[in-house]
Amino acid sequence: MPTEILMPALSPTMEEGTLAKWLVKEGDTVASGDIMAEIETDKATMEFEAVDEGVIGKIMVEAGTEGVKVNTPIAVLLGEGESASDIGTAAKAAPAGGPAAAVPPAPSSADGSRIFASPLARRIAAEKGLDLAQIKGSGPHGRIVKADVADATPAAATAPAKADSPAPAAAAPAKAAMATGPSADQVARMYEGRDYEEVALDGMRRTVAARLTEAKQTIPHFYLRREVQLDALMAFRADLNKQLEARGVKLSVNDFIIKASAMALQAVPGCNAVWAGDRMLQMKASDVAVAVAVEGGLFTPVLKDAHLKSLSALSAEMKDLAGRARNKKLAPHEYVGGAMAISNLGMFGIENFDAVINPPHGSILAVGAGIKKPVVGKDGDVKVATVMSMTLSVDHRVIDGALGAEFLREVVSLLENPVTMLA
């Protein structure tokens, strides 16, 4: 029976998307890994790859269609020996607006997370009694495809995931978040007679609104503030940049903040944790997310294993991630995860601010501008120093006050003694 190609969930928060462009047409032969379409998600425009081989028998959703729900059929793939005349049979077998009845629903693993498998692979697995949670996918981004299940037997599957793994916290639906406050009509009536332009919300702005509304409504925030003297860091950075100039490397203050935060998470491991609904996940590696402003919203690309990377490696990786974030070319795995985030508005002249935690992170560090101001030294003398304000927003369910203060003290110590970051 022909296989329906469904609208994919290309990001963890995606509920619907725009089928921006088809790169194949009816009658084209595709193989696993071929790019079939460009889809605009709630975060970016991404390429959609084929996960099975076959012939495009029918395109069911035209290019440019907005609001296509995840798991809606968008095309039909014909397998070996099948023809366009078989498509009607598949359509009759399918419930209205849904996938073919012969294709089992998208499965979930023991920890509640979605298992990515093609419809054909799901159907074969169901026929053979295979547990997809025990099969390692060889398709794009680990997706399970036909080849993975064709010769598999239940005994050949890999060990299942631990049954006691916690389920990730579910994101609040965007519609629920959008429903808070006065309705659109009520707000419009308040401004009746005034000149304004109505701006429709795109997927990214809807997602930002939903997640930050959820964060402020559900996360018990508290705030810890510290100032750090940057003079030693600025001198150390200038010296390093002079030595690295021949390699084309130029370190920013933000690179040092990322490194200091990653090392502080190792020194204070209780802060290297995230909230997971009914428990916490204590992370081992320091994965640090960094907020990047883009047109219409923001991304938080994640620098994984940041405590193990050199300053120059972090600098290069951050530049790459930020550049692709601004072009909306990041893959979902590049902006999902991390135990904490950093939001730096110092380059805009903001001296201090409080950032909103991005769930499921346990904290976010808000960084202001370095400002020259008088300070009292240890010997009692007054001198002028470059001082930067930092505010740590903390999820009290994960991190208590003393623990958060210990983490912030460690960050300040590393920034004021930057040579220790090279030890």
Taking residue 154's Cβ as centre, other Cβ atoms within 10 Å add up to 11
Concatenated DSSP letters of 321-388? HHHHHHTT---GGGSS--SEEEEE-GGGT-----PPP-TTBSEEEEEEEEEEEEEE-TTS-EEEEEEE
Three-class SS of residue 392? Answer: strand
- Identity of the amino acid at 8: P
Give me the phi and psi of 202, to 5 degrees please.
-85, 180
Q: Please, which residues have CB within 8 angstroms of residue 415's CB and are 6 or more apart in sequence?
A: 228, 230, 233, 256, 257, 260
* Residues facing 390 on adjacent strands: 226, 367
Of 141, 221, 333, 396, catalytic: 396
Place of tokens 């933000």: 254
* Residues facing 222 on adjacent strands: 394
Q: Which two tokens stand for residue 17?
A: 């998307």
Q: Which two tokens stand for residue 259?
A: 């490194």
Three-class SS of residue 226? Answer: strand
Q: How far apart are CA 86 and CA 78, in angstroms?
A: 8
Is 141 noted as a catalytic residue in this protein? no
Taking residue 349's Cβ as centre, other Cβ atoms within 10 Å add up to 9
Query: Exposed/middle/buried for 75, CB within 10 Å: 0-12, 13-18, 19+?
Result: buried
Q: Which two tokens stand for residue 352?
A: 């201090």
Distances, alpha carbon 259 to alpha carbons 8, 304, 312, 412, in Å: 36, 11, 10, 12
Q: Are 260 and 414 in contact (CB under 8 A)?
A: yes
- Residues marked active site are found at 396
